[in-house]
Structures are given as C-alpha cells and as structure tokens.
Amino acid sequence: MKPALTLSARLLAVCTVLALCACSPKFNWREVRSKDAPYSVLLPAKPSTVARPIDLDGMPLTMTMTAAKVDDAVFAVGSATVPDAAKAQAALIAMKTALVKNINGTVKAEKTTAAASNAQGLSASIDVEAVGSTPGGMPEVLFGHFVSKDKEIYQVIVMGPEKTVSRENVETFISSFKHN
C-alpha cells in the first residue's frame, strides 16, 4: 500500500502547480511569418497586424505593420512595396526620418549599406539608434533596421521608454528578421 499524502504535502503540491500555471514570462518569443510579405521574425508577445496608407516623401504606399508590445516598448515590422526598385533607398531614408521625428529624436548612431545588386535584386539597409522624448518629456529610444530587397521595403523597429528597452531584446528581435 502506498502511504497517503499528508494535508500539508497536498497543499504544497497544489500551491506549486498553481504557481507554475500563474507564471507567464514577460517576453514570450514566438516566430511570426507574414502573410503579406516574404519575411519571418521573432516577436516577444502575441502580435496584431494592420495595413494603412502612408506617404513617404510623396510616394503613396500601403504599409502592413505587425507589432507586439511589452512594458510600453513596441516591437514592429512594417512592410510595403515601392513601384520602382530604384526608389527603395529613398523610401528607407523617409521611413527612418519619420520615425526619428515621431520621438522628437536625434540620431546617436547610424550605419548605411548602399544599394547593391545581388542574386535577389537590389538591396540596401540602414541601421539607426536614436534618442528623444515623448510629449510628456519622458526619455524615448528608437532602434531601427530599415531594409530593401528589390521593390520590397521593411522597417524593423523597437521603440519605447529608455527604461523598458533592453539591448538584449532589441538584438534578439532585429537579428531574427529574415527575408524569405
């Protein structure tokens, strides 16, 4: 015969199970594959997707944004198609400029890879780190990776209050972006 569990042992077991069920990691990374553009990325929470018209310095486009939010930090990928691959680099610059302006920001670091022709067509990228503030004066940061592949353009960004954005999570997110 098996010994019966004491009341305290049963309570401990129940409390342990409840505690494990109640735990939910703040960053619950999951791979997301776009239905609208050929890319995949890791997002830290369940994402939502919306498409809307935008204007990039006189170039009207429809951008699809897939984003997730954790502790006021936004992790997002925007994708659109430009009418001509030759206009893709200008679109990347316009996206970067608009996002830095959104946080009343100043660029701290920037790296540009000029348009180059490869097996997949023309490609270019801009990586940026900017600091700014919200209208309430709270410090805000923006980390962005803007990339083009032929006529397709992407913005892979993390933005939010400085205290909620860790470089480790930025690196996990941005380095996970893959053009398929």
Tens-binned pLDDT, residue by residue, of the chain (180 aa): 444 544 444 444 443 433 333 344 689 999 999 988 999 999 999 999 999 999 998 999 999 999 999 999 999 999 999 999 889 999 999 999 999 999 999 999 999 987 666 555 668 899 999 999 988 888 999 999 999 999 999 999 999 998 899 999 999 999 999 988
Q: Which CATH number fits domain 29-179: 3.30.70.260, 3.40.1000.10, 1.10.1200.30, 3.40.50.1370?
A: 3.40.1000.10
d(CA 175, CA 167): 12
Per-residue pLDDT, 94: 96
Would you state the structure tokens that stand for residue 169, as one six-digit string? 């999570």
Per-residue pLDDT, 123: 85
Structural domain boundaries in the chain: 29-179
Which sign does the torsion angle of CA 131, 134, 140, 146 carry?
A: negative
Residue 119 phi, psi dihedral angles, 5° rounding: -60, -25
Per-residue pLDDT, 12: 42
